[in-house]
Amino acid sequence: MQAFLNYIRTRKAGTGADACIVDAALADWIASENTSGRITGTWGYHQIADRMARMAALIGRDADASEYRNLAVTIRDAFNDAFYNAALGRYTADGSQGGAGATQAAQALALDEGLVPEGEREKVLAALVELVYAHQPFGGGPHLSGGTIGLAPIVRALHAGGRDDVLWDVLQEDTRPGYGYFMAPTTANPHGLTTIPEQWDMGNSKNHMILLQIEEWFHSGLVGIRQAPGRAGYRELVIDPRPVGGLTRAEGSYHTPYGVVSVRWSRENGRFRLDVELPPGTTAQVRVPTGGHKAQVTGDGAVFQGVRGDRATYGVASGRHGFVARDSGRPAS
């Protein structure tokens, strides 16, 4: 890994102010709008340096950790100097005042990687949302435009920013580029595709995983099964479901090293019900969308931890737990 990082260092074409700017040849491959390879390449360079710093610290290589942390900070600053337009609140191909090259991927890569300057995240998130709703190359409503690099950060950035409603709106569209477009019946394929193709225009492989990042959101967003931040092995969990739009129920499970975590929720007659089952040896913080009130709890051992925004939070251990609350009647955020 050190050899690869040194390879990136010695192969960069830039000098001076561009010493940390890397131009990736393929950029955001198979995206439906072009994001500069300078943005994707420099994002990748920062990711490598940052992860190397974390790994070095974990194995006691303190000098290496310090070196890589400093490199990551330098790359972050160069990324913002080159691409961030504070007046627009957008990342653009060259930081232009006109906003040229401000793609969904450019905003999301910065948000997801933690590159956005202090106090600017809401502006960049707003720009991302605006770009999603504006991307309608073949009609319809909002569409995602990312490819093999940008799509997952777009999904994660919207979820982390509490804009699960945007992802839900995107899923209602059946025009290209979109998942509904893959499933829409055609003369050649009257039942639509049953697999995910490699590209938004259905080119190349007809059975590929590059564009399947929305499935991550099905588990971590809609159903709400996530690992607690900074933890490993799914021993400590966060259950944080995001009911959206007119969706009335969702359920899912995840196989952890300790056993299966399962979550089910439903909305009916003005009430929201959440059922959680945790395997032995695990704990979870459960965040129930209550509109700012406490929930009714069934099962043993749920400890009320307070209300944060429109969610009541509870600490629970392994076993089955049920929560019932008044349905707020709007997407959770």
d(CA 253, CA 177): 29
Q: Do 234 and 307 fall into the same domain? A: yes
Decide if 221 is inside a domain.
Answer: no
Q: Do 22 and 115 fall into the same domain? A: yes
Does residue 249 carry a pLDDT above 60? Answer: yes
Q: What CATH number should be reported for the domain holding residue 273?
A: 2.60.420.10
Decide if 310 is inside a domain.
Answer: yes
Q: What's the confidence (pLDDT) of residue 332? A: 39
Sign of CA dihedral 158, 164, 169, 174: positive
Q: Do 169 and 273 fall into the same domain? A: no
Does residue 35 carry a pLDDT above 50? Answer: yes
Q: Do 57 and 20 fall into the same domain? A: yes
Decide if 284 is inside a domain.
Answer: yes
Q: Do 179 and 246 fall into the same domain? A: no
Sign of CA dihedral 45, 46, 47, 51: positive
Nearest to 50 by CA among 94, 90, 123, 1: 1
Q: Do 136 and 200 fall into the same domain? A: yes
Q: What's the confidence (pLDDT) of residue 137? A: 94
Q: What's the confidence (pLDDT) of residue 331? A: 42
Q: At what angle do helices 121-134 and 151-160 cross, to 10 degrees?
A: 120
Does residue 333 carry a pLDDT above 60? Answer: no
Q: Do 10 and 88 fall into the same domain? A: yes
Q: Look at the pTM and tell me if it is higher than 0.85.
A: yes
Distances (CA, A) of 289 to 253, 254, 274, 284: 19, 21, 9, 16
DSSP code string of 166-224: HHHHHHT--SSSSHHHHHS--SS-TT--SS--SSTT--S-SS-STT-THHHHIIIIII-
Decide if 218 is inside a domain.
Answer: no
Nearest to 278 by CA among 236, 223, 305, 318: 318
Q: Do 27 and 152 fall into the same domain? A: yes
Q: Do 280 and 312 fall into the same domain? A: yes
Q: What CATH number should be reported for the domain holding residue 50?
A: 1.50.10.10
The percent of residues above 90 in pLDDT, for the chain, comes to 83
Q: What's the confidence (pLDDT) of residue 11? A: 77
Nearest to 144 by CA among 194, 105, 196, 190: 105
| Contact predicate 290/253, CB 8 Å | no
- As for how many domains the chain has, the answer is 2
Between 191 and 128, the higher pLDDT residue: 128
Q: Do 109 and 236 fall into the same domain? A: no
Q: Which two tokens stand for residue 126?
A: 């707003």
């060259």: which residue's tokens? 94
Between 292 and 91, the higher pLDDT residue: 91
Does residue 303 carry a pLDDT above 80? Answer: yes
Given 212, 238, 263, the domain boundary residue is 212
Q: What's the confidence (pLDDT) of residue 187? A: 82
Domain range enclosing 312: 226-326
Does residue 13 carry a pLDDT above 60? Answer: no
Q: Whole-number mean pLDDT of the chain?
A: 93
Q: Do 37 and 105 fall into the same domain? A: yes
Between 95 and 193, the higher pLDDT residue: 193
SS3 (DSSP) at 3: helix
Q: How confident is the model at residue 91 (pLDDT cuts 50, 70, 90)?
A: very high
Does residue 17 carry a pLDDT above 70? Answer: no
Given 185, 212, 239, the domain boundary residue is 212
Q: Do 51 and 96 fall into the same domain? A: yes
